[in-house]
Amino acid sequence: MIDGFCKTNVPGIYAIGDVAGPPMLAHKAEHEGVVCIEAIKGLHPHAMDKNLIPGCTYCQPQIASVGLTEARGEKRAAARSASGVFHSSATARRSRSARTRAWSR
């Protein structure tokens, strides 16, 4: 387990790439390397947020994605509702419809 600056729980030991955990993507590993070296040099880099890493599917046509899947978003919304943060299911349906219209253009 690493923090946002690729530090492990062992002082002076950092981890990047596949050792640092999923997603197992080359562009994630490259960015972790930059963040890691900048942290070691004391340059105060931004912390790495794995939720913002774009994923890619190599097919024809190529596909890329970033952020939560619809299933994970619904799971997170359900957890928030259970914790006292409420949302409107009508609002969720409207935003889902807007996404569908945007993708079909």
Cα separations (Å) of 46 from 28, 50, 71, 77, 92? 14, 12, 29, 27, 31
CA dist 28 and 72 (Å) reads 21
What predicted TM-score, i.e. pTM, was given to this entire model? 0.60
pLDDT in tens, 37-91: 999 999 989 888 888 888 878 888 888 888 777 888 888 888 877 665 544 555 5
pLDDT on residue 94: 53
Q: Are 38 and 45 in contact (CB under 8 A)?
A: yes
